[in-house]
């Protein structure tokens, strides 16, 4: 299937996790159909959001990311992405907005605007509104089938600082946009922790 990625277990079983996004470009891998698989010890959720730690390492967070609703977004053709990037670079101005919000105590919090992502390609991957999925991703994503890019995402204001490349065969590349990328495989242990394993 073109909307799943291979995740290996420690004993080399292959699970196909569904690839999903929210409108802010966050990647989710959903293995809910394996929740009762005998491989796992007690597991409460197999839905993961990709995050980045302070040392620039990717990790999957098994939080509460239940779907609120599906979002219909028309994906643009892949060849339009380069044109959009060039146009953005030529017209780049400092139009960065800041929004004032109030915390639970009524104190003002200065918040950066939260740009929605643009999606390119025709791959039928769900884009959903999710619990705890309302902050823009720090990474752009490219999805490959073998060596052909079949889908990509880009932040609405070109503010992403990382690049994620997923191959449906399970190869993952991640790194800073202006630096080296590192190759990983995805592995899930018996506790239901989805891990990046350096290759």
For residue 17, tell me if it sits in a domain: yes
Q: Look up the domain containing 161 and give its range.
A: 4-89+109-198
For residue 96, tell me if it sits in a domain: no
**Alpha carbon distance, N-terminus to C-terminus of the chain:** 24
For residue 20, tell me if it sits in a domain: yes
Q: What angle do CA 191, 193, 197 make, to 5 degrees?
A: 125
> How many folded domains does the chain comprise?
1
For residue 194, tell me if it sits in a domain: yes
For residue 22, tell me if it sits in a domain: yes
For residue 104, tell me if it sits in a domain: no
CA separation (Å) from 30 to 1, 126, 161? 14, 11, 25
For residue 28, tell me if it sits in a domain: yes
User: How does pLDDT run along the chain (199 residues), one tens digit per residue?
Assistant: 568 999 999 899 999 999 999 999 999 999 999 999 999 998 888 999 999 999 999 999 998 888 888 887 767 766 666 666 556 444 444 444 444 455 566 555 445 567 789 999 877 788 988 888 888 999 999 999 989 999 999 988 888 999 999 999 999 999 999 889 999 999 999 999 999 999 9
pTM for this one? Answer: 0.82
């Amino acid at each position: 299937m073109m909307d799943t990625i291979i995740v290996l277990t420690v004993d080399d079983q292959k699970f196909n996790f569904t690839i999903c996004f929210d409108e802010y470009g966050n990647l989710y891998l959903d293995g809910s159909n394996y929740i009762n698989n005998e491989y796992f010890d007690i597991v409460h959720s197999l839905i993961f959001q990709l995050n980045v730690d302070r040392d620039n390492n990717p990790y999957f967070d098994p939080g509460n990311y239940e779907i609120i609703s599906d979002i219909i977004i028309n994906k643009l053709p892949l060849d339009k992405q380069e044109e959009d990037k060039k146009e953005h670079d030529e017209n780049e101005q400092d139009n960065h907005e800041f929004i004032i919000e109030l915390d639970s105590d009524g104190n003002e919090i200065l918040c950066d605007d939260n740009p929605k992502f643009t999606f390119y390609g025709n791959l039928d991957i769900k884009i959903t509104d999710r619990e705890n999925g309302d902050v823009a991703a720090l990474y752009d994503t490219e999805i490959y089938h073998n060596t052909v890019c079949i889908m990509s995402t880009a932040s609405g204001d070109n503010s992403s600082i990382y690049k994620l490349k997923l191959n449906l065969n399970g190869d993952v590349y991640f790194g800073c946009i202006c630096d080296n990328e590192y190759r990983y495989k995805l592995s899930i242990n018996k506790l239901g922790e989805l891990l990046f394993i350096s290759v």
